[in-house]
Amino acid sequence: MIRSLYSAVSGLQNFQQKIDVIGNNIANVNTNGYKGSRVEFQDSFSQTLQGSTAGSGVVSGVSSMQVGTGVATSQIRVLDTQGAITRTGVNTDLAIAGEGYFVVKDPQTGAEFATRDGSFRVDQNGYIVSSNGYRLQGLTATPGAAYPATTLSATVGDLQVKPLGVLPPPVAVRSWNIGTDGTVSLAMSDGFSQKIGQVKLEKFTNPSGLTREGNNLFGNMPNAGRTGGSYNVPGDPGIGTIQANALELSNVDLANEFSTLISTQRAFQATAKMITTSDEILQELVQLKR
């Protein structure tokens, strides 16, 4: 009887944890680039009452007898699936169609984080930054021998929207844009286009190894199977493309979350009823001798 109580308690604890995860998913249904989570269970250890024995040509084998002791959470998995992409018309908004993550760097500490939230902006110094001021990473460019030629460097750095070299007067920057391959280009008033950088993406062999750091950021990139420090070019095999003037929405499916919530709630109620039933039986045992 004590085993049933402890098994039921483990069920209550783990079902409550699953409800917490579902609640967080629903709360982030409108969060840009949010990736939902899923709780996965596994049975706990079992108490062996009788071991199994092998049979022979004369005697049949005997099966083991075990009583389980409850349930445990095996993992809380991040669902790295594509969210819907919506157009915003803002040229600093970027969405990834396919696999990959943007990488942003804290300019004060140098710490790098992965994110699918492409709601960037340009700060007062021309850097492309996230909502909390972290700078978007990519290949930077250096001025070529003649305007408007530029050369992309082999190292990754902070992307900055500004013309390279000395512009011949009266040439000025008319606009800028980001292509599907991540190329950041300036459109000049004389009709030329100057490439000033390229957004790079990072892909992970184990996205579930990433840890949520808040502010739509993921940390612990090395343990998630980072595919090298050189990043990946958008559009390469296995890498998504970049959609400018658009944002990726949350991948949370409300219909699925609510159906899972209902089944989890019923499982919670059934487990609570098991505690009540065990208590009633224990009460009967106590009252056997009056």
pLDDT tens digits, one per residue of 163-219: 998 889 999 999 999 999 999 999 999 999 999 999 999 999 888 889 999 999 999
Lowest mean pLDDT among 54-58, 113-117, 164-168: 54-58
Alpha helices for the chain (secondary structure H): 2-27, 254-286
Q: Is the pLDDT of residue 66 over 90?
A: no
Q: Is the pLDDT of residue 1 over 90?
A: no
DSSP of 242-282, one letter per residue?
EEETEEE-----HHHHHHHHHHHHHHHHHHHHHHHHHHHHH
CA 223, distance to chain mean position in Å, is: 14
**φ, ψ for residue 230 (rounded to 5)?**
-90, -5
Instruction: Assess if residue 54 is contained within a domain.
Output: no
Which pair of structure tokens corresponds to residue 232? 């990946």
Are 130 and 234 in a shared domain?
Answer: yes
- Reported pTM: 0.87
Residue 140: the pLDDT is: 92
Are 72 and 100 in a shared domain?
Answer: no
Are 35 and 118 in a shared domain?
Answer: no
115-146 exposure pattern, b = at least 16 Cβ within 10 A, e = fewer: bbbbbbebeeeebbbbeeebbbbbbbbebeee
Residue 277: the pLDDT is: 92
- Beta strand ranges found along the chain (DSSP E): 37-43, 46-50, 65-68, 71-78, 85-87, 94-97, 101-105, 112-115, 121-122, 128-129, 135-143, 150-158, 173-178, 183-188, 193-199, 201-202, 211-214, 217-219, 241-244, 246-248
Report the mean per-residue pLDDT for the chain.
92
Residue 52: the pLDDT is: 78
The answer to whether the beta carbons of residues 35 and 70 sit under 8 Å apart is no
The answer to whether the beta carbons of residues 98 and 241 sit under 8 Å apart is yes
Domain span including residue 222: 85-248
Instruction: Assess if residue 232 is contained within a domain.
Output: yes
Are 27 and 95 in a shared domain?
Answer: no
Residue type, 42: Q
Mean pLDDT across 101-124: 96
Domains identified in the chain, total number: 2
Are 131 and 232 in a shared domain?
Answer: yes
Are 258 and 131 in a shared domain?
Answer: no
What single DSSP character describes residue 98?
S
Instruction: Assess if residue 174 is contained within a domain.
Output: yes
Are 188 and 268 in a shared domain?
Answer: no
Which pair of structure tokens corresponds to residue 283? 């009460």
Residue 53: the pLDDT is: 79
